[in-house]
Each structure stands twice: as C-alpha cells, then as structure tokens.
Amino acid sequence: MIREMLRLAVWGLTPKRSEVVETLHDFGLLHVVNPVEPTPPSEEEEVLKFTRAKVLGMLEGLEWKDWPSLTDESLDAARERVDLGIEGVVGEIDRSLDSFRQRLAALLEEKRRLAVSLADLKKAHQVVFHFIPFVSSEDSSDRNLTLWWVKDSVIQKTLSAVRGRIQKKSSEDTESRDALRFHLLNTDKGQAVLALSVESAFAADVEELMRLQGTVPWKAPEGFHRNRTRETLFAVEEGLKETGNRLEALSDEISRARDDWGPRLASLYILLDEKLEETLVESRSLTRGETFLIEGWIPADSLEALVNLLKTRFGDAILIQWRYPSSEEWHRVPALLCNPAATRPFEILLKLMPHPLYKGVDPTTLVAIFFPFFSGCMVGDAGYGILIGLLGLWLSRNKSHSLLPPVGKILIWVCGWSIAWGITFGEFFGDLGHRLFHMEPLWVERSHAVLPVLIFSIALGVAHVSIGLFLGFLEGVRKKHRHLWMERLGSLIVLLSLVGLLLIVRLNMPRPFFSLNISFLVIGTALLLAGGKLGGVIETFSALGNVLSYVRIAAIGLSSAILAIVATRFVDVLGLSFLGILMALIIHILNFVLAIGGSGLHSARLHYVEFFSKFYQGGGKEFRPFSRRRFSWKKPC
C-alpha cells in the first residue's frame, strides 16, 4: 500500500525560520521540497562541510567502522554537549580535536614508518638468518668478512677472479688455500648473496676486484650498519624484534584511541551532518521580504500531529496551508510504501526495481504471497526447509547490517513453504525421510512423476501472469489509459481462452464450450488489435512465453530432488563409513546452497520479468523525510 500524501506549506517570519526548521527536523516526517534552485554554498555551509570532512578523515585514520554500535542515547548526549549554534559547534570541535588530531597524525606517521622499517628488516633477516653461523665461525681479527650481491651467472667467474688475485698476491701456494672461504645464498630473482672471508692482508685487493667485477656490497637497512659484519647481522636481528614490539605497542595505543574516540567522533559527524541539512533547508527556503516559505510532502495521517506541534510552539507567528496533490503532479509526489509488519520485509525485493509511482501499484503483498510459495516449491524438501528456517532466525536477529533482518524474515517464510512442499513431495533430505521414517508423499514424488509437477508449474504461471495482466488492466482503467487497459484485457482473455481450448480438447468437453471459447478468443484478439495493434499481438506471444518460463519451478525442483537422492546414495555405495557420510554431507551442503541461491534468484526473476512487466510502473520518488538520525527509527506506518 502507498500512503496518501498532502502538500504542506509553512509560512512564517524570517527571525523564526531557524526554530521552525529545527521543529520540522525533530518531527521528522516532512519530505522537504526546495522551491528555490540550488545556489552556491554559503560560507556557513562550507565551514560545516569542511569540519564534517575533517571528522570523517579522522575516523578513517582511526579505521573506526563500528557505526552499528552507536545508540540514540549516545547521539542525544552528544547533541546536548554541542548545542551551541554553528560557530560554537565548529569552534568547540576545532579546540577539542586539534590536539588529538596532531597526536593521531604523529601516531599514524610513526606506525607507517615502523611498518616500512619492519618490511626492510624482514627482507634483510632472510640474509642474516642464513649467514649468521658462517659469519660467527669466520669472525676473527686476522680475517675480513664482506657480503656482496652477485648475479647467479657470474658467481664462478667472480670466485675464480678472487682466487687468482689472492694467488698472485701471496708468495706461497699453501697460504692461498685458506686465504679465501666463502658462503652463498641464492635468492629467487636470479641473484645471490656471496659472503667472502679473506685474510686481512688481501682485503683491500679483493674489495677493489669485486667492485671492478660490477658486484654491489650487501647493505643492512638504514640505521643498522655496524663496523664489523657480524655486529651488523646481530643488529638487524635485534632490530627486527625491537621494531616488531614497538609496532605492536603502537597498534595497541591506536586501538585504545579508536575505542575511546571513535564513537565520540562518529556522533559528532552525525550531528554535523544534521546541522548541515538544517542549514541547507534554511538557505533554500523561499524568502519574500520578512517572510519565508518551507514546502514539502507529508503523510496525510501525520498532518494533524504536525499542525498541533507547530501551532503550540509558534502560535500565530506562522501560517500553515495544505492540499491534496493534483493528478498532474502525481509523478512528483514521493511514494511511501506502508505494509503490515509481516509483509514489510519483502519491500527490499522492490529496491532492485525503480521506485513505484505515487498512485501506482505497490506489489509487496503479492510478492509476499508468491515469492516464498515459488521458492518453497523449488526447494520442496522438509529437511532443507528446517535448515533455511534456522538460517532465517539467525539472520533476523543479526543487526550487523540493516539488510540482514528482512532477509532473515523472508527466509522464515520460505522455510514454511519448503516444509509444506517437502511434506507434499515426501522429501526430507531427499529420500532419507522415506528410508528412516517411511515418509510417503502426499501428492507425487518429484523425481519419479515429472509431468504432473510440470503441468502444475505451468498452471501457476497462468495464474500469476493472469493476475499481473488483470492488475495492468485495472491500472489502465484507473489512469484512463485506453490503449493500456484494452491491451492487457485482450491479452488476459486470449491467454485464458487458449488454456480453455487446451482443456476442452484434452477433456473432450461438449462442442458449445468450444464455440464459446472461440468467441472469447476473437473478442480478446479484437481488444488486442484495438489497444496495441500488431504490438499487442506480439505482447500476447510474449505472455505465453512468460507462462512457459514458470516451468523452471519444476525444473529446479527436480534437479534439487535428484541431487539430494544422489547424496544419500553415496552412503549406499560407500557404506556407512566416514567417507560415505562425508561425501553425502558435502553434496547435501552444495544442494542446500544451490537451493537457497537458485530458488531465491529464480523466484525473484519470475516476479521482475514475468509478473511486474504486466502492470508495474517505476520511476517514482522515494519518501525521504527531513529527520534526525535515529537508529531506532522505524518507517511511519
């Protein structure tokens, strides 16, 4: 159902404008229409936007995302603290937050710097870990230790050159054998780190040679280089531990700041957002001399409460006018869907479509009837139905995302129909119910009697599409759209006549029935041609295609039933063993996921493509009341 709206106009004296805007904001049920075209933002708006962005930036810096933890009470407390007017709010924020902002920036910069340093140290530690035993054994006063980056392809050539240089320099061959010792670490980039240990007497020559060979000395990260290689390696190892500890301590400090400041900053962000909204409504209201005008749409049954509130607060200082919208402006009126609590969760399925028009059809109730019915028929298994119900219960109590509770409630509806169809088809986790409890189908077993289920699903299609066409016909009549109602009525009559003819031929009914049906077919075709010409006839063929599309209910149900039976057969084949039970469980889980996803998707598609195309008109405006942020806010129904 779409609620009736009234156009409300509030006239008043300019000095009272801010108070009136605040009162309307508190009331929270007026969809404000700006009579003035958007103007360049005022200085006040700029300041508020800048401060809001500053607070949001700090929240992002803190990585605080726990918006659901905020409560109305925390917001009210924040409102009382910053009830100072715009300048007061901005000044207070700047004073109290500037020092925190600097501290936070310093902490985040330190964290970034430590993270970079830690990454460098981790890379260096790979070398350190490998060379520490070699370096420790070679560390003595008469030997010189150096580390070099060498290409894999030139390692042997480089080592030969070093040996040659040492032999040339030394007077005795025996001395040259111990003069060079080396150790190698291959990395994965075609390079290696070569540790050279030479007698101190050859150190300068070897270093000169290595540089001439084009090799590069290995260096520890900045700040960890020491005079001796052994000390450098231990400094890296020590630095890695120390940096890790410091980073952990810093993360803890930021986490404490996040928990402490996050909710406060978030409340402040919301208040600034509200304040900005008020400023925008004020600046865009129509001003004539000393008077102002604020206009908007309000649900008809909320008018009295708002008028009483405004009159009590402002008395004769304001003038209130209201009227019903004319048919010419229906397309501009926001549409507020208002359905009973039981069917309201299904409104989320309409969010994937353009918003319905004011004075259009709200299909939520029909979706609430048919969506779970079709989904349940596709699942058609009492065992899976129970699991869907449990999942639905869990989701309906999960408040971490606003979409989860309605999805959970829809699943509970699907659960009911799945169990009902499961009993009808005699399915409980496939044929497990039959094996364990001798469960028998009330109607037919889907996996064996395919044709009756196919015919039933086509009958469902005829009924569903016919309802859609009938609603389209009513829409045409209501909006005095002759072509629309003639085409929809023609399609409906032709569709039902064709079904009637099929039944007459199949059941061998008397001839007068046949003649009567042919007459209806002719009338329907005439209406179609009058309403939509050739396009109308094509539309009817499309409606027939739509009806056949409902076969998917049987097809998906059949595949789900067979997959469930296959799962149980694994236990037959592999025996009551661990492997058999595991395989059965895996296939049941797969089937359950497919049952939820497939049944939901295809049921939604049957509504969006086959059903809505017959009557639904989107393009309406969503009702967006000018209201304060309330976490416990519920749609005014």
Q: Report the alpha-carbon distance of residue 615 to residue 467 in Å, rounded.
A: 9
Among 605, 624, 630, 635, binds other proteins (CB under 8 A): 605
Tell me the C-alpha to C-alpha distance, in Å, between residue 502 and each of 467, 511, 523: 20, 13, 18
Can you name the residues that pair with 217 across neighbouring β-strands?
Answer: 148
Q: Please, which residue, 549 or 591, has the CB nearer to other proteins?
A: 549
**Looking at beta carbons only, is 397 or 605 nearer to other proteins?**
605
Measured between alpha carbons, how far is 190 from 151 in angstroms, rounded to an integer? 6
Residues 540-559 binding other proteins (CB under 8 A) are 545, 548-549, 551-552, 555
Return phi, psi of residue 288, to 5°. -125, 105
CA 582 → CA 560, 567, 579, 592, 593, distances in Å?
Answer: 19, 10, 5, 15, 17
Q: Which stretch binds other proteins (CB under 8 A): 45-53, 136-144, 237-245, 603-611?
A: 603-611
Residue 602 as a binder of other proteins (CB under 8 A): the answer is yes
Q: Residues 327-356: x/- map of binding to other proteins (CB under 8 A)?
A: ------------------------xxx---
Closest to other proteins by CB, 332 or 351: 351
In angstroms, give the least distance from the CB of 549 to other proteins.
5
Which CA distances in Å does 11 have to 17, 286, 314?
Answer: 9, 9, 11
Which residue number, 353 or 526, has a Cβ lying nearer to other proteins?
Answer: 353
Nearer to other proteins, 319 or 455 (CB): 455
What is the length of the chain?
Answer: 637
Q: Do strands 180-186 and 621-622 pair parallel, antiparallel, or not at all (unpaired)?
A: unpaired
Sign of CA dihedral 399, 400, 405, 411: negative
User: Shortest Cβ distance from residue 456 to other proteins (Å)?
Assistant: 14
Verify binding: residue 604, other proteins, rule CB under 8 A.
yes
Torsion of CA 11, 13, 15, 16, to 10 degrees: -50
Residues 6+ apart with CB under 8 A from 308: none
Minimum distance of other proteins from residue 499's CB (angstroms): 16
Please identify, using beta-carbon distances, which residue of 237 and 445 lies nearer to other proteins: 445
- Beta carbon nearer to other proteins, 192 or 555: 555
Residue 454 binding other proteins, by CB under 8 A? yes
C-beta of 337: minimal distance to other proteins in Å?
16
CB of 551 to other proteins, least distance (A): 5
SS3 for 143?
Answer: strand
DSSP label of 40 = P
Please say which residue, 183 or 464, places its beta carbon nearer to other proteins.
464
Mark residues 393-432: x for contact with other proteins by CB under 8 A, - for none.
Answer: ----------------------------------------
Interface with other proteins, residue 105, by CB under 8 A: no
**Residue 427 Cβ, how far from other proteins at the closest point, in Å?**
20
Give the nearer residue to other proteins in terms of CB position, either 513 or 608.
Answer: 608
Q: Which one of 575, 601, 619, 633 is in contact with other proteins (CB under 8 A)?
A: 601
**What is the Cα–Cα distance from 34 to 626, expressed in whole angstroms?**
12
Q: In the complex, what is the shortest distance from the CB of residue 441 to other proteins, in angstroms, rounded to a whole number? A: 19
Tell me: does residue 456 bind other proteins (CB under 8 A): no
CB of 605 to other proteins, least distance (A): 4
Mutual orientation of helices 17-27 and 303-314 as an angle, nearest 10°? 150
We find the least distance from the C-beta atom of residue 485 to other proteins, in angstroms, to be 26
Count H helices, E strands: the chain? 19, 11
499 is an interface residue for other proteins by CB under 8 A: no
Assign 8 to helix, strand or coil. Answer: strand
Q: How far apart are CA 156 and CA 147, in angstroms?
A: 16
154 or 454: whose CB is closer to other proteins? 454
Contacts of 166 (CB under 8 A, 6+ apart): 176, 179, 180, 198, 202, 205, 206
Query: From the CB of residue 289, how many other CB atoms can be counted at a distance below 10 Å?
Result: 7
At its nearest, how many Å lie between other proteins and the CB of residue 507?
20
Q: Which two tokens stand for residue 596?
A: 């939820």
Cα 125 to Cα 118, 119, 129, 220: the distances in Å are: 10, 10, 6, 9
501 contacts other proteins (rule: CB under 8 A):
no
DSSP code per residue over 449-483: -HHHHHHHHHHHHHHHHHHHHHHHHHHHHHTT-HH
Question: Which one, 108 or 604, has the nearer CB to other proteins?
Answer: 604
Q: Are 218 and 149 in contact (CB under 8 A)?
A: yes
Count of residues near other proteins by CB under 8 A: 18
Q: β-strands 291-299, 5-13: how paired?
A: antiparallel
Binders of other proteins among residues 46 to 85 (CB under 8 A) are none
Q: How near is the Cβ of 566 to other proteins at its closest, in Å? A: 18
Per CB under 8 A, which region of 134-142, 155-163, 385-393, 599-607 contacts other proteins?
Answer: 599-607
Q: Which is nearer to other proteins, 352 or 507 (CB)?
A: 352
Question: Under rule CB under 8 A, which residues in 433-452 are in contact with other proteins?
Answer: 450-451
Strand bridging mode 621-622 / 334-335 = parallel
Q: Tell me: does residue 103 bind other proteins (CB under 8 A).
A: no
Gap between the Cα atoms of 637 and 623, Å rounded? 13
Looking at the Cβ atoms of 133 and 354, the one nearer to other proteins is 354
**In the bound complex, what is the minimum distance in angstroms from residue 450's beta carbon to other proteins?**
6
Asked if 86 interacts with other proteins (CB under 8 A), we say no
Instruction: Give the Cα separation of 393 and 7 in Å (integer).
Output: 41
Query: Contact residues for other proteins (CB under 8 A)?
Result: 351-353, 450-451, 454, 545, 548-549, 551-552, 555, 601-602, 604-605, 608-609
